[in-house]
Amino acid sequence: MAFIIIMATRVGFLTGYLVILAIIGLAYDAYSGRVPRVFLPISIVVLCLSTVTYYYFYVRQFVDIADISRELRVKNERQVKTARNLIAKEKIDFIQRIGQDFTKYTKVYHYYTPGINDSYNVNIYIDRENCSIINKKNTRIISMHDTKIKYFDKKLNTNKYLCKLTAKSRPINKLLHTGNEEDISEEYSLDGSIRVSRRNIFIGDKKVAEYLTGSVSYYPILPWPIIFCGNGGGLLSQQPKYFCDLTFRGILKKDLDTRPRFVKNTKKFNVIAAILDLEPRETDFFPNFELSEKAKVAINYLGLTKSHGPQ
């Protein structure tokens, strides 16, 4: 009765163990003579076969994970090299989208973010002294604030702080950016435990490459059977109206390592950073800050100030 109640409430995290305990209980009852002795070897065989089968798939999953990770990594290496070769031939800027943070990388002193109605905003790091003389009444300016990021002023031989300026701006160069993530697991004929996704890489409106990522729901070292039941959701659904299923994974998940071998390992991988060969910045310090020529052009275009920060 308890088993039926737990399944009916769809709390499946312990239901699998109830089945195991039921089999063990049956073996104990057979051993103590409460039920026919024939159930004792049957229970033992069922438990042994189940354990052997589980650990076969447990070991096998590492081979499958390594194979698909290697396949995706090799493809990504070719795609990133292709994108780098194209970028070397063109003047480009790049877009930071939601979920990305280019302030965590070195050599990034300006970038674009999407604005309203297909417009763009330029984000530029400038020394605080020059921020203070910018005409704050300029209608292009969206925000301007001090940061905790420091840089070393070679002329004065001292550390100074930067401010961040965000303003409406039409991109001067073509923009490097990524598209939305697409699930392409079906293209790899994998079981439901491995999910493969693709992000297209664009320069302007032209797709130049793609980057593949993956995640896997894997078997834990100790079996954790989960039985769950539910409602399939209507007549048009391929799933039966009422169904029950058994799985040993779905709780533990991790991302596949699809990073190209020539790209530095970081805590949070970024496709654009990999293409531009940016290195993560461990502290809030720009040791060799110098306003890039592109940022200078952007500031001149905005007509904000004639001063461009430390040279």
pLDDT for 265 equals 74
pLDDT for 69 equals 92
pLDDT for 310 equals 36
pLDDT for 230 equals 62
Instruction: Return per-residue pLDDT of the chain as tens, 311 residues.
Output: 344 444 444 445 566 667 778 888 888 888 888 888 888 888 889 889 888 888 888 888 888 889 999 999 999 999 999 999 988 888 788 887 776 767 667 667 778 888 887 788 888 888 777 777 776 677 778 888 888 877 777 777 778 788 888 888 888 788 888 888 898 888 776 666 788 999 999 988 889 999 999 988 888 887 766 666 666 555 555 555 566 666 665 567 888 989 998 887 776 778 888 888 877 766 666 655 655 565 666 666 666 554 443 33
| b/e code 13-22 from CB counts within 10 Å (16+ = b) | eebbeeeeee
pLDDT for 6 equals 43
Radius of gyration of the CA atoms of the chain, in A: 29
Q: How far apart are CA 296 and CA 118, in angstroms?
A: 24
Residue type, 163: C
pLDDT for 9 equals 43
CA separation, residue 42 to residues 17, 29, 31 (Å): 18, 12, 12
Q: What does 25-36 look like in DSSP terms, one character per residue?
A: HHHHHHHHTSS-
pTM for the structure as a whole: 0.69
Q: How far apart are CA 42 and CA 274, in angstroms?
A: 57
pLDDT for 125 equals 81
With H, G, I as helix, E, B as strand and everything else as coil, classify residue 166: strand
How many alpha carbons fall within 13 Å on the CB side of residue 216?
Answer: 18
Q: How far apart are CA 192 and CA 8, in angstroms?
A: 25
Signed CA dihedral, 275, 186, 13, 41: sign only: negative
CA separation, residue 303 to residues 119, 146, 212, 298 (Å): 18, 21, 41, 9
How many alpha carbons fall within 13 Å on the CB side of residue 292?
Answer: 15
Signed CA dihedral, 34, 35, 36, 38: sign only: negative
H or E stretch at 142: strand 141-153
